Amino acid sequence: MEGGEFVQTTEGQTRLLVPRLSLTAKVPPKTPAFFNPSAKLNRDLSILAYRTFLPRLKEKTFADAFTGVGARALRVAVEVPDMEQVYGNDVNPTAVEMAKKAAALNSVSDKCHFCIDEVCKFLLRGTEAGERFGIVDLDPFGTPARHIDCVLRAVLDDGLISITATDTAVLCGIYPEVCLRRYYGRPLNNSYGNETAMRLLTSLIALTSSRLELAIKPVFAHSTMHYLRVYATVSVSSSEANNVYNNIGYIMHCFQCGHRTAVQEFDSSKKCELCHSKLKIGGQLWTGALHDREFIAKMSEGAERQHKKILDAAIEEIGVPYYFRADEISSRLKTNPYSVQKIIEKLRACGYMASRTPLNTGAFKTDARIDQILQVLK
Ligand SMILES: [Zn+2]
């Protein structure tokens, strides 16, 4: 390895050793190791989530299955000081070497354990004592689908998992057949496709859990153009696993008039109740809550402004499994766009529930139907 290829950078309160090129290149290179500076927000939020969850952990151990140069693992070791042991794994020996060196730079070598192994082997081996991990993070290139079983088998009862998907084109409906085989559900390539995507990802995690007699409860989810990320608690309970289908359903979308509804049962013969066009079906997918208000409120305490913005939208969000974009409404009304805040105020004034959503800053959620929204804003 060339000595000059890696440079020191600081993210949060943690020193990292990263490929020089990754700090300047538009798309960070995969060799000699991968580091994505633009995932800082993602890692910042995860620090807030893990700090919040820490008091609930029976064993204060953290596993980072695709650790790369150790960015997330090292930040947890440094910035979640009460985390007792941190485990990181990557198949790239150069990346792991840098992670170990950076652990020394941060004086956290004692509690950091980095290894080079296949992801599932690493996860199933567990801690040095052979125990499961308190928190397991999975942040792969592309789809997490093939590793979900191992993540669930590697986490303690009442532990936390955080899973990222970067196959957003698949989950948002560009490749529906790939989505169906990876996530057992159909995507919707429409104006709220990233929420459907989040719910497809969560549904796969929930259904896999139920097969293993586990139950999940999502506590926080957020997304950007490039990734979707969900945090969920996992508990051993066959009785709760039996109830998984209470939170699994479908979203019916009318591409003609923009009407959308969530339903429990699949019915391909159903026509749009507003315009009688054929409906497009998204799912099966998770229709339950993605956010635990109390948990996110704790995350938000002392958070920086840019993080607070996302967290506060999640706290406020009402329990409707799809959103409406403000520009979508104005184009139907053929008017200048209303601000999201204005739309929410008008809907509330007419007695509807309405809120922002962390999944799209230009969108809102409401229990009003599209015809009712258009009526209110006309
Ligand atoms: Zn319709």
Which tens digits make up the pLDDT trace of 150-180? 999 999 999 999 999 999 999 999 999 999 9
Kindly report, residue by residue over 302-346, the tens digit of the pLDDT: 899 999 999 999 999 999 999 999 999 999 999 998 999 999 999
Alpha carbon of residue 134 to chain centroid? 18
Q: For residue 267, how far is its CA from the centre of ligand 1 (angstroms)?
A: 16
Q: For residue 271, how far is its CA from the centre of ligand 1 (angstroms)?
A: 8
Give the domain ranges of the chain: 3-247
Kindly report, residue by residue over 41-81, the tens digit of the pLDDT: 999 999 999 999 999 999 999 999 999 999 999 999 999 99
Q: For residue 150, how far is its CA from the centre of ligand 1 (angstroms)?
A: 42
Residue 242: the pLDDT is 95
Q: 302 burial class (0-12, 13-18, 19+ CB within 10 angstroms)?
A: exposed
92-95: long-range contacts at Cβ-Cβ below 8 A with a sequence spacing of 24 or more? Answer: 92/32, 92/33, 92/34, 92/68, 92/116, 94/1, 94/32, 94/33, 95/32, 95/33, 95/34, 95/67, 95/68, 95/69, 95/70
Q: For residue 247, how far is its CA from the centre of ligand 1 (angstroms)?
A: 25
User: What's the CA gap between 104 and 339, in Å, rounded?
Assistant: 49
Q: For residue 90, how far is its CA from the centre of ligand 1 (angstroms)?
A: 48
Percent of the chain scored above 70 by pLDDT? 99
- pLDDT bin (cut points 50, 70, 90) of residue 225 is confident
Q: For residue 115, how far is its CA from the centre of ligand 1 (angstroms)?
A: 54
Residue 363: the pLDDT is 97
- Provide the CATH topology of domain 3-247: Rossmann fold (3.40.50)
Kindly report, residue by residue over 9-35, the tens digit of the pLDDT: 999 999 999 999 999 888 888 889 999
Q: What are phi and psi for residue 112, nearest 5 degrees?
A: -105, 130
The residue-averaged pLDDT of 263-288 equals: 95
Q: For residue 259, how far is its CA from the centre of ligand 1 (angstroms)?
A: 5
Does the pLDDT at position 228 exceed 90? yes
Residue 2: the pLDDT is 46
Q: Which two tokens stand for residue 71?
A: 């960015």
The residue-averaged pLDDT of 129-156 equals: 97
Q: What are phi and psi for residue 286, nearest 5 degrees?
A: -75, 120
Q: Which two tokens stand for residue 244?
A: 């998984």
Q: For residue 370, how far is its CA from the centre of ligand 1 (angstroms)?
A: 9
For 149, other C-beta atoms within 10 Å of its C-beta total 16
Q: For residue 371, how far is its CA from the centre of ligand 1 (angstroms)?
A: 10
Report the DSSP beta bridge partners of residue 220. Answer: 231
User: What's the CA gap between 318 and 307, in Å, rounded?
Assistant: 19
Q: For residue 373, how far is its CA from the centre of ligand 1 (angstroms)?
A: 14
Q: For residue 330, how far is its CA from the centre of ligand 1 (angstroms)?
A: 17
Q: For residue 358, how far is its CA from the centre of ligand 1 (angstroms)?
A: 26
3-state DSSP helix/strand/coil percent for the chain, to nearest 5? Answer: 40, 25, 35
Q: For residue 39, how far is its CA from the centre of ligand 1 (angstroms)?
A: 38
Q: For residue 277, how far is its CA from the centre of ligand 1 (angstroms)?
A: 5
Q: For residue 257, how far is its CA from the centre of ligand 1 (angstroms)?
A: 4
Q: For residue 327, how far is its CA from the centre of ligand 1 (angstroms)?
A: 18
Residue 359: the pLDDT is 96
Q: For residue 334, how far is its CA from the centre of ligand 1 (angstroms)?
A: 18
Kindly report, residue by residue over 174-220, the tens digit of the pLDDT: 999 999 999 999 999 999 999 999 999 999 999 999 999 999 999 99
Does the pLDDT at position 249 exceed 90? yes
Does the pLDDT at position 4 exceed 80? no
Which of 241, 95, 37, 66 has its CA nearest to residue 165?
Answer: 66
What are the Cα distances from residue 51, in Å, to 133, 151, 192, 202, 277?
16, 20, 31, 22, 48
Whether the CB-CB separation of 92 and 19 falls below 8 Å is answered with: no
Report the DSSP beta bridge partners of residue 229. Answer: 164, 222
Q: For residue 378, how far is its CA from the centre of ligand 1 (angstroms)?
A: 19
Residue 31: the pLDDT is 87
Q: For residue 251, how far is its CA from the centre of ligand 1 (angstroms)?
A: 13
Q: For residue 173, how far is its CA from the centre of ligand 1 (angstroms)?
A: 20
User: What's the CA gap between 308 and 297, in Å, rounded?
Assistant: 9
Does the pLDDT at position 373 exceed 50? yes
Q: What are phi and psi for residue 366, nearest 5 degrees?
A: -155, 160
pTM of the model: 0.96
Percent of the chain scored above 90 by pLDDT? 94
The residue-averaged pLDDT of 280-293 equals: 97
Residue 1: the pLDDT is 44
Whether the CB-CB separation of 54 and 80 falls below 8 Å is answered with: yes
Q: For residue 369, how far is its CA from the centre of ligand 1 (angstroms)?
A: 11
Q: Position 201: which residue type?
A: L
Whether the CB-CB separation of 67 and 113 falls below 8 Å is answered with: no
Which of 51, 30, 139 has its CA nearest to residue 94?
Answer: 30
> What is the edge-to-edge ordering of all strands in the sheet holding 248-253?
260-263, 248-253, 280-286
To the nearest whole number, what is the mean pLDDT of the chain? 96
Q: 236 burial class (0-12, 13-18, 19+ CB within 10 angstroms)?
A: middle
